[in-house]
Amino acid sequence: MRGNTQTITHSQRLNIGNVLYSLWNRLGMIMILLLLCVVLSFTAPNFLDTANLLNVLKQVSIIAILAAGMTIVILTGGIDLSVGATVALSGVISVMVSSAGVNPIIAMLSGVLVGYAVGLINGFLTAKAKLPAFIVTLGSFTYVRGLAYVISGGYPIVLQNETFKFIGGGSIFGIPTPIYIMSLVYVVMFFVLKYTMFGRHIYAIGGNEEAARLTGIKVEKSLINVYSISGLLAGLGGVVLAGRLFSGQPTAGQMYELDAIAAVILGGTSLTGGKGKIIGTIIGVLIMGVISNGLTLMDVNYYWQLVVKGGVIVAAVLLDRLRGNSPA
Amino acid sequence: MAVNEMSLKGQQSLKKPVLNMEGIGKTFSSVTVLNNVRIELYPGEVHALMGENGAGKSTFMKILAGIHTPDDNGGKIYLKGQPILWKDPTDARNKGISVIHQELNLSPNLTISENILMGSTFPRNGLGMVKWDKVHERAQEVLDSMGSNLNPRQLVSTLSVAQQQMVEIARALSFNAEVLIMDEPTASLTDKEIKKLFEIIDDLKKQGVAIVYISHRMEEIFKISNRFTVLRDGEWIASGPIEETNPDHLVKLMVGRDLKDLFNRSKAFGTKNPKEVSPVLELKNVSDNTIVKNVSLKIYPGEIVGLAGLVGAGRTELVRAIFGLSELKSGEILVDGQSVRIKSSIDAIANRIAHVPESRKEQGLFLSMSVKENIIMAELKKHAKAGIVSWKQVNESANQYIEDLNIKIASPEQQVSNLSGGNQQKVVIARWLSIAPKVLLLDEPTRGVDIGAKTEIHKIVSKLADEGLAVLMISSELPEVLGVSDRILVMSEGRLTGELSKEEATQETIMRLATKGGREK
């Protein structure tokens, strides 16, 4: 069967229009992103302004951080629905710790650690108790959000500390801090996936868990680490968001998990695991960010933006599938 | 090829066949699986379909059941003299062909009735709602006709395997089957249950049902069959009344493949006299939780031990138990004379045991990864400092194996899914060599590999043994077992039924041991 698809792709490439096709074949989603940018540069006023482009990056930074963790989870063939709720819990707790007069660095770390703990529990239940990741994280999606409400009493908690605010709302050399954090996350993740044993084991497990186990890879340990990292990044996202909103909000991060998943899939990562790249994910994130931004600049109302965004996700993945790169 | 045509005599020649298949041919992606195969089925007979693993029995029966269609110009199927071609399995079933598959196909959380009537339209009232009383009634009728006392309202999940088999048969009968295919129906039954099954088969015969009976158990074949057909390597070899044959004769018909093109390992192997050295791997009375019972064996450095037997004999299960993939119920495993506890593949690897699994794609390869990564995945540690992989080292090491094993690839970066079966298998073997094993467990190392690559793999394994590796090789291909092994162990029904030296071993002696039956009386 595999041989067949191979030959079909091959013969298609030999036909007319092969230049466009091979370009599309090689670049895929980057082409879509560039195409979107070209279209928006004509239709949306000020789209290409540096300020606007930085704004896009700042807007997507938190989803991007979550999507980096989501990428490794999906690479193992799993899913993490809890990241949005974790953003809220991490924000609430870190702001409360900060309000108690604790050093802001420690306060921020506490938020990250909360995320790590949520991920650790997810990973443990998925890897050791062998529960489906969907169910485990659907559970944490709910109880983590619940905890955020319980701890905050349902109200936003105001953030006073300036250092903490800087992490979300400040800028260095004119570039907003979240962009640095996001970039760091992606550089590290790129390195981890490509150059560490852990990273290669993620691909191996996602590609063929049985073979990985037979090969002597510690599958369970790796899976626990994967979910823990996803949680940790969600915690980091929560801290950054709290810094940007100047408050810890129990309602923060709603639907973020779905945006993160959409970005990963747009980036070409296979939902069945084993196949995908972190660079694809950042492109997926940017596609979504550019669409929202462009539509806002064009004064399209938010409701219509949702309709367009959803349509673009499906259309882009459909196009990618025609490329012979089945994402599901 | 020796073709023995036996006369059709007695009552059969008076009746017309209910179904016959002629000149059936089937090709899967340019590999011919069946070539000019035929069978004639008469009402009220049990027809034993015999053949080695891979002889083409199941493909042949799948064509009969409408699961596969024969090639264009691949012969004809006649139902009561009329040429016919099934559209799909449902079509075949509606025309009276039913199959009882080896692995049961029941829905455990539904009742017996629902399982029996599955696939037919349930009786309904005017509103389209199922009339459950009627459903159970109908199921009861079928069960009664078999003399079964099962309660149709019971859930299938509460039944024993034998009872489930009864439900399968009832389902087949509920379609008024005229031809019933039974694939190893007794494999999981106790003696008492087998007796019951045979009574049912007798009944079916009286009702005029033609039964195709696939089994490896000679006693059964001679107990219940009327006629037989033997296939070998996808070809029809012989058919005839069962009275005109005997077990030895059948075995002869089933085996007898050509040996001449295959690799033949020379006698000069690393350890001249294995009795003088101590075994590197020893099993003492090993049983697992599935089929393996009381297996004891010793494997010495430098020898290749072939593990022969029929599919389902417990060979794979034994090897998986050695590699820590299934729990031992009892018994002991010794490596280099030391008793070891192997509870996972990680423990096995720590004891320098390597395992090339049965199915390359499902258990062996990371298909979407590169050749080089597939090769070094088990020993990534060796090429990493503080968890950070040195791709330079990986490349060097992978290239070495690619050269040593003569793996033919465009580049080490190539995705492993694009390689041929033989080269893929070499990649898996290379991975296991990277752990510097003392014991190499090979499970069907050349399945789905072309003849050239097969010979190459045999040479590689032989060379590894010469260098002192102890090899245990499962193979369902007798010529391979005979050509490569220094010594051959035969399993049947979970037990070792014999050991043969290279000199003693022939296809016939192995088949005899493999069909002996390890069952305790």
Q: What is the pLDDT of residues A254-280, one digit of tens each?
A: 999 999 999 999 888 888 888 889 999
| Contact list, A198 vs chain B (CB under 8 Å) | 387
- On whether residue B448 sits in a domain, the answer given is yes
| Contact list, B355 vs chain A (CB under 8 Å) | 214
Read off the pTM.
0.76
**Residue that terminates a domain, selected from B233, B254, B275:** B254
| Contact list, A2 vs chain B (CB under 8 Å) | 417
pLDDT tens-digit map of A48-61? 888 889 999 999 99
Lookup result for tokens 């196909």: B105
Cβ distance of A214 and B365 shorter than 8 Å: no
CATH number of A60-319: 1.10.3470
Q: Are residues B90 and B180 in the same domain?
A: yes
pLDDT at A229: 97
The C-alpha atoms of residue B508 and residue B191 are separated, in whole angstroms, by 27
pLDDT at B74: 82
Q: Are residues B448 and B479 in the same domain?
A: yes
- Predicted confidence band at A324 (pLDDT cuts at 50, 70, 90)? low
HEC per residue, B411-469: CCCCEHHHCCHHHHHHHHHHHHHCCCCCEEEEECCCCCCCHHHHHHHHHHHHHHHHCCC
Cβ distance of A211 and B365 shorter than 8 Å: yes
pLDDT tens-digit map of B340-390? 999 999 999 999 999 999 888 888 899 888 999 999 888 888 888 888 888
Highest mean pLDDT among A114-128, B300-314, B450-464: A114-128
- Predicted confidence band at A26 (pLDDT cuts at 50, 70, 90)? low
| Contact list, A6 vs chain B (CB under 8 Å) | 418
Lookup result for tokens 């000019």: B36
Cβ distance of B384 and A196 shorter than 8 Å: yes
Between strands B210-214 and B46-50, the pairing is parallel
**Residue that terminates a domain, selected from B235, B254, B273:** B254
For residue B40, list its beta bridge partners: B20
The total domain count for chain B is 3
Predicted confidence (pLDDT) at residue B258 exceeds the cutoff of 70 = no
Taking any CB pair shorter than 8 Å as contact, residues of chain B touching chain A are 29, 323, 325, 345-346, 348-349, 355, 357, 362-369, 373, 377-378, 380-381, 384, 387-389, 391, 417-418, 431, 435
Q: Are residues B268 and B306 in the same domain?
A: yes
Tell which wins on pLDDT, A26 or B405: B405
| Closest-CA distance of chain B to residue A204, Å | 6
Cβ partners under 8 Å of residue B478, min gap 6: B52, B255, B257, B308, B507, B510, B511
E strand or H helix that includes residue B49: strand B46-50
- On whether residue B249 sits in a domain, the answer given is yes
pLDDT tens-digit map of B418-450? 888 888 999 999 999 988 899 999 998 888 777
Tell which wins on pLDDT, A67 or A215: A67
Domain boundaries, chain A: 60-319
Highest mean pLDDT among A163-167, A187-191, B25-29: A187-191
B28: nearest CA partner in chain A: A1
Cβ distance of A197 and B373 shorter than 8 Å: no
- Predicted confidence band at B295 (pLDDT cuts at 50, 70, 90)? very high
Residue B508's domain comprises 258-352+437-521
- Predicted confidence band at A320 (pLDDT cuts at 50, 70, 90)? low
pLDDT tens-digit map of B35-85? 889 999 999 999 999 887 778 888 898 899 888 888 888 888 998 888 888
| Contact list, A3 vs chain B (CB under 8 Å) | 29
Q: Are residues B248 and B289 in the same domain?
A: no
Predicted confidence (pLDDT) at residue B253 exceeds the cutoff of 90 = no
Predicted confidence (pLDDT) at residue A137 exceeds the cutoff of 70 = yes
For residue B295, report the phi and psi dihedrals to the nearest 5 degrees.
-95, 125
Output the domain CATH number for residue B304: 3.40.50.300
Length of chain A counted residue by residue: 328
Q: Are residues B191 and B244 in the same domain?
A: yes
- On whether residue B131 sits in a domain, the answer given is no
